[in-house]
Structure 1
Amino acid sequence: MFKGSVVALVTPMADNGQVDYETLKNLVEFHINAGTDGVVAVGTTGEASTLPFDEHIKVVAKIVEYSDRRVPVIAGTGANSTSEAIELSQASAGVGVDGVLSVVPYYNKPQQRGLVAHFNAVADATDLPVLLYNVPGRTVTDLLPDTVVELAKHPQIIGLKEATGDLKRLQVLKSKLSDDFILLSGDDPTACEFMLQGGHGVISVTANIVPAIMAKLCQLATSGKAEEARALDATIAALHHALFIEPNPVMPKWALYKMGLMPSPALRLPLVLPEQIHQNAIEQVMKNIGVLS
């Protein structure tokens, strides 16, 4: 179920900071029409850290409603408090998501055995499939391969979003885990190679901008069509990097705004709009690949 191109969807907002649900609906349709294989609702790219609990769940519920079971919806439900992660996961289950994505607790720097206890507690609290999310660039703590192996023993923990960009890590994980444990890249620049080396897909920021290309890339790479996959990936390599010139989702929102897919590039503080030099840089990249005239 959770394979291929899964978009880490932005949460569109009006200039006053309120969620723009009409645009959110349009973005869901944009992705379904482009062949996106799944949606992550209110993850990092969806500004989970600045949406309070009730609003967080409302956005998730709306994405479930708008997708209407045409693609799986995975709710971002991570937190640095285990009780909050459980509450978010249970509330997301209540609005009909297909799974949850739970990030390594940030800031409090838990031990590896603390991570085992945390994720097992989350998985015990819901009947939904749980995807672990390792992104030490944001959380500081690294979810180590042996810890993933221990967590994979839980029947509800079915996969991992691995965002280190370390392809050697993938081979270590593959050597220690069963073939049915889902391994998804969380790093667009290395996602093609990740899939060619046995990964099952990507939870993608780039897919916000070029969903059809990312869907095709995933089809090629997971089918082992290396030459075609690498050639297609090369056409959007500059976009992968431009989207992270400033902290995510600053650049994806600016790009969607320039494409006319969002009426505003608004973010919630403490994030602000990109510097002019970075606006110019991504717009040039978008022109080069043909998504902006």
Structure 2
Amino acid sequence: MQKSDFRGVFPAITTKMTSDQEVDLAAVRADVAYQIESGVDGVIVCGSLGEASSLTREEKLAIAKAAIAEAAGRKPILLTIAEDSTRAGAVLAAEAEAIGIEGLMVLPAMRYLADDREVVAHYRAIAAASGLPIIIYNNPIAYGINVTEEMLKEMADEPKFVAIKESTGDTRRINETLRALGDRYQLLTGVDDLALESLILGCSGWIAGLVVAFPRETVAIYKLAAEGRIPEAMEIYRWFLPLLSMDIGPKFVQNIKLVEAIVRGTSPVTRAPRLPLVGAEEARVRAITEAGLKSRPDLSKYGF
């Protein structure tokens, strides 16, 4: 895969925590190894699912270094830039390049709801801070800022902007973007339970959440779709959909970490203010996960 080609499956991994809510770098490395051995095309660290909002700059760099060391050049490691200020984002982007990160997934600045002009200026400043290729993360549902078609046209003159993580939750945006901008940007689906539809419509990559617990199934869906084997991809996808729904809502981090813990035995600990799921919320995640495990498809049927 070329440096600026983000085709394939890219897990946005969770940040593993110890019982006292400290980052577990050994577990981060083990997670990166597990994902790569399962066939993913790269790994994204410190994203929304990775609890970026509660990590310090020093922790993000330590996580990135651990992931790079484990990947050992086998697959690219990308870092998410989700800082409160443009200055902090630009500094982190430059530091990420210096330690060997191969790409950035960049959100608008957090907390402040910027207007279109300010968002474009933010993205341009991050791009100017390093030579790394950038995925523009568009998630207006979660972050209140919509990177519009007009903004993407305005930013198209910057070659470092290579892809868009399409997380609007509206598959019409895929066709609208492709019609307006052609192949200027790679489109990557970022909503797990719209992933297959998005791949069929023209997305060339999947930045995934539940992949952290089920990487082989996620990769199989992607590859079957790429090969035009849509009915087979649909079989796995329909099995997966109740689990993929865990990627939606304010407690998606707790949901997915609990799924991981049940499936893989990893730590479900999240950093406060996130607290463990209890009561009906926990029971629902456990029930869906256990049902999924009981009916888990045999991937050898599809050649995987």
Q: State the TM-score, normalized to the length of structure 1.
A: 0.95
SS of 1:249's equivalent in the other structure is helix
Aligned pair partner of 1:250 in 254, 278, 300:
254
Of the three residues 133, 138, 143, the one matched with 1:134 is 138
Are 1:51 and 2:55 counterparts?
yes
Deviation at 1:94, TM superposition (A): 1.2
Aligned to 1:26: 30
**Number of residue pairs aligned between Structure 1 and Structure 2:** 292
Say if 1:140 and 1:243 are closer, same or farther in 2 by CA, change over 3 A. closer
Unaligned runs of 5+ in 1: none
Aligned twin of 1:2: 6
The counterpart of 2:166, out of the listed 157, 162, 167, is: 162
Q: Distance in 2 between matches of 1:152 and 1:213?
A: 34
Match of 1:278 in 2: 281
Q: In 1, Cα distance between the equivalents of 2:95 and 2:294?
A: 37
Question: Hey, what's the Cα distance between the residues in 2 that align with 1:130 and 1:260?
Answer: 31
Q: What residue is the counterpart of 1:148 in the other structure?
A: 152
Q: Which residue of 1 aligns with 2:125?
A: 121
**Does the 8 Å contact 1:105/1:139 carry over to 2?**
no
Higher relative contact order (CA 8 A, sep 6+): 1
What amino acid sits opposite 1:65 in the alignment? A
Residues of 2 paired with 1:28 and 1:266: CA distance? 18
- Partner residue, 1:100: 104
- The AA in structure 2 aligned to 1:285 is I
Distance verdict in 2 for CA 1:157–1:245, change over 3 Å: closer
Matching residue of 2:76: 72
- Return the alpha-carbon distance in structure 1 between the equivalents of residues 53 and 127 of structure 2: 21
Give the superposition deviation at 1:199: 0.4
| CA–CA separation in structure 1 for the residues paired with 2:278 and 2:60 | 28
Work out whether 1:183 is the aligned partner of 2:187.
Answer: yes
Q: CA deviation at 1:226?
A: 2.1
Q: Return closer, same or farther for 1:53/1:292 CA change in 2, 3 Å cut-off.
A: farther
- Name 1:194's counterpart in structure 2: 198
* SS of 1:290 mapped into structure 2: helix
Distance 1:175 1:260 in 2: 41
Kept in 1, the 8 Å contact 2:127–2:134? The answer is yes
Corresponding residue for residue 287 of structure 1:
290
In the alignment, what sits opposite 1:61? 65
Task: State the partner residue of 1:90.
Answer: 94
Aligned match of 2:85: 81
Q: Structure 1 vs Structure 2: percent identity of aligned residues? A: 24
Gap regions ≥5 residues in structure 2: 297-304
Q: AA paired with 1:10?
A: T
